Amino acid sequence: MVDVVRTKRPALHKRTPAGGAPTAPRSADEARRADASEPRIDVAAVTELLLGTWAQARRQSREMITDEAFWQVPGQPVPEHRERVLGQLRRFVDAGASGRAYPVEYGGQNDNGGNLAAFEELVLADPSMQIKAGVQWGLFGSAIQQLGTKKHHDAWLADVRTLALPGAFAMTEMGHGSDVAAIGTTATYDPDTDEFVIHTPFRAATKEFLGNAALHGRAATVFAQLITGGVNYGVHCFFVPIRSDDGHDLPGITTEDDGVKGGLNGIDNGRISFDHVRIPRENLLNRYGDVDATGAYSSPIPSPGRRFFTMLGALVQGRVSLDGAATTGAALAEYIAITYANQRRQFDSGVGTEEVVLLDYGRHQRRLLPRLAQTYAQAFAHDQLLRRFDGVFGGERDTPDEREDLETLAAALKPLSTWNALDTIQECREACGGAGFMAENRLVGLHHDLDVYATFEGDNNILLQLVGKRLLSDFAKQFTGKDAAALARYAVGQTAERIFHGAGLRRLGQAVADFGSTARSVELGLRAEQQHELLAGRVEQMVTDVASALRPASSLPPAEAAALFNQHQSELIEAARAHGELLQWEAFAEGVAGIEDAGTRQVLTWLRDLFGLWLIEKHLAWYLIGGRLSSQRAASVTRYIDRLCARLRPHAQDLVDAFGFAPEHVRAPIASGAEQQRQDEARAYYAELAASGAAPVSEKSLKKKVTKP
């Protein structure tokens, strides 16, 4: 275990990171000419920005997990880890931290945004603990809350909140993951007994990967095809007891343990199958669909498709929370890697100087700083997503259109943040060398635990396909009611503007035409306005291209239409990904625009520019092929990124310190100040040795004397 000591933060220009080691010097040249006029960020103010709308909830959660009882123990055996995590959830209950989103009458606080904000911070303690909490209160409990009615809330919600009723969320099946509509489990109504019969008709219909299923769960919210009167009314959710109080499977229930996983081994994931298990009719969570005693089905939503998506949309909070948790995980990795890079020295400059700190190397800056900019962008975008989520689930803006927009936004951002977290953690691991591979420094374990985020709560590619379809739908709305002449004008590129309804895109005028003029500097040609035009123009053109390619599908037989869509599926997903990147850039830009402190605004403007240009650099081939950038200007993108990295290097420690992590949240020895102490000791040793006159002479110097004429 790492000993952690809180340190009082001195004035900004003499600040130290949380572990107590002095901030590494800027690059040698900058250190000599630094003066008070250089912009610096107000670290405390930036921390407030990053904590976002529910800063207080995040602080409360962070304060709770400073207790080492909540910390992950690297290498702990799976059975012990599982029991430790279960005990941690009981501590949540004792601390009043469970079920914050539940109604007050069941012990909650009716605080939807604060609930997710607090939950996302738990990744700093132990991701297994975080996800098990999410299973209990965010999936199992939320299914009861969002899909059930008052009788279900009265029966179970209070016990769910206090952990008196631990449960599993049984949606995913062996044979169907993201394709929930096609699951095989059936719930057939028997009017003679007023019961539903839950059944697993074949092995592939076994519920799979379920937290709490292998050991701790006593009940499950089971998604199954509702069949009554010989009619299948589609997927609905049922409350099904699965174990007795002494932990044994109930009759007709078979549970299996998934065993050791690639990460999150503190969660008892498992499988459940059902052999004609009978439950009362009242156990149907009937907010969106009901069956009366005679077997007659009714629903406030007559459209089967709309009803299905409404039920799944009620559970969107999982995707929202993973977007935030992945961002926090990436921020932790960057804090560790940049703090270490500001202290660890390796190689001299070749001219007899002292060894150089890692972050003074251009390549090291290139590896870490653009990803830091990306994490800042994600933090700003996530706060916007969380505000929209709270508006819908808190009732202030709960309309069908708002729910659809929320689902689209969550489906756009969750894939990017979870993929980015894995990329960032791995790059940070490599940037720390062998030390980054040690379990005690957390990067390897963090990567393992967050790996499943890319497929958890919806496979990332499937989610982006949903976003792409929404973009196509919004694109088509532009032409509703238009005559042939209007369509022809669009086809030749003469439309004045292109409008994407509700999906987050802005109106754009003419596309960027860049001819590499030398009359303007690189910076003037690649500032915010140009970045936005390039990023938004790419989305617009990609969606237009896919829509044009798919236009014949409406007149083709179904099989041929499906084949045409499949041919362009990858292009659609890439367009959706570009859309998500644009949303993140816009959120970052809006955040920067609201900053009053001049120094903070300047540094974060550089950071936003770094993020925008890094995105453009990733897709330079597209911009060049499409004539959006000249080769001359494309080359300048890379040069400008390098300049921004050098410009931001002196601010790197401030920027990661602004995440606001305490030593108890970091718990990585290489970021604790120990490395700085080792470096100081080594430098003092060599300095004392040189001053004593007893230092040995290098072989190279002797050879130079021999060969000198």
pLDDT of residue 483: 57
Domain-embedded: residue 247 = yes
> Using one digit for the tens of pLDDT, what is the confidence trace for 63-109?
999 999 999 999 999 999 999 999 999 999 999 999 999 999 999 99
Secondary structure of residue 353 in the 3-state scheme: coil
pLDDT at 609 > cutoff 50: yes
- Determine what percent of the chain falls in helix, strand and coil, rounding each to the nearest 5: 60, 10, 35
Q: SS3 letters for 180-245?
A: HHHCCCEEEEECCCCEEEEECCCHHHCEEEECCCCCCCCEEEEEEEEEECCEEEEEEEEEEECECC
- CATH no. for residue 114? 2.40.110.10
> How many domains does the chain contain in total?
1
CA–CA distance, 475 with 551 (Å, rounded to integer):
12
236 φ, ψ (degrees, to nearest 5):
-135, 170
Amino acid sitting at position 70: F
- The better pLDDT of the pair 216, 20 is held by 216
Return mean pLDDT, the chain. 88
pLDDT of residue 177: 84
Question: Token pair for residue 665?
Answer: 């949240």
pTM above 0.85, yes or no: yes
CA–CA distance, 355 with 364 (Å, rounded to integer):
15
What is the pLDDT confidence band of residue 551, given thresholds at 50, 70 and 90? confident
pLDDT of residue 31: 44
Domain-embedded: residue 81 = yes
Exposure letters 9-32 (e unless 16+ CB within 10 A, then b):
eeeeeeebbbbbbebbebbeeeee
CA–CA distance, 420 with 418 (Å, rounded to integer):
5
Q: Are 425 and 446 in contact (CB under 8 A)?
A: yes
> Using one digit for the tens of pLDDT, what is the confidence trace for 211-254?
999 999 999 999 999 999 999 999 999 999 999 999 999 999 99
> Which ranges of 10-67 would DSSP assign to H, the alpha helix?
28-33, 43-51, 55-64
CA–CA distance, 138 with 153 (Å, rounded to integer):
15
Q: Are 541 and 376 in contact (CB under 8 A)?
A: no
Domain-embedded: residue 177 = yes
Domain-embedded: residue 47 = no
Amino acid sitting at position 573: I
Of 38, 40, 14, 8, which is closest to residue 652 (Cα–Cα)?
Answer: 40
Domain-embedded: residue 93 = yes
What is the 8-class DSSP label of residue 454?
G
Question: Token pair for residue 384?
Answer: 């916007």
Domain-embedded: residue 379 = no
pLDDT at 363 > cutoff 70: yes
pLDDT of residue 379: 98
> Using one digit for the tens of pLDDT, what is the confidence trace for 668-693?
999 999 999 999 899 899 889 989 98
CA–CA distance, 494 with 509 (Å, rounded to integer):
11
Listed range (301-315, 361-375, 578-592) with the worst mean pLDDT: 301-315
2 φ, ψ (degrees, to nearest 5):
-85, 130
CA–CA distance, 116 with 112 (Å, rounded to integer):
7
**Range of the structural domain that residue 245 is part of:** 52-307
Which residues partner with 232 through β-bridges? 227
CA–CA distance, 80 with 33 (Å, rounded to integer):
55
Rg (CA), the chain: 28
Average pLDDT of the segment spanning 536-557: 90
Alpha-carbon dihedral 609, 610, 616, 617, rounded to 10 degrees: 150
pLDDT of residue 492: 46
Domain-embedded: residue 369 = no
* Long-range contacts formed by 598-601: CB under 8 A, 24+ apart: 598/39, 599/39, 599/40, 599/41, 599/42, 600/39, 600/41, 600/42, 600/45, 600/46
CA–CA distance, 410 with 467 (Å, rounded to integer):
9
Q: Are 199 and 188 in contact (CB under 8 A)?
A: yes
Tell me how long the chain is: 709
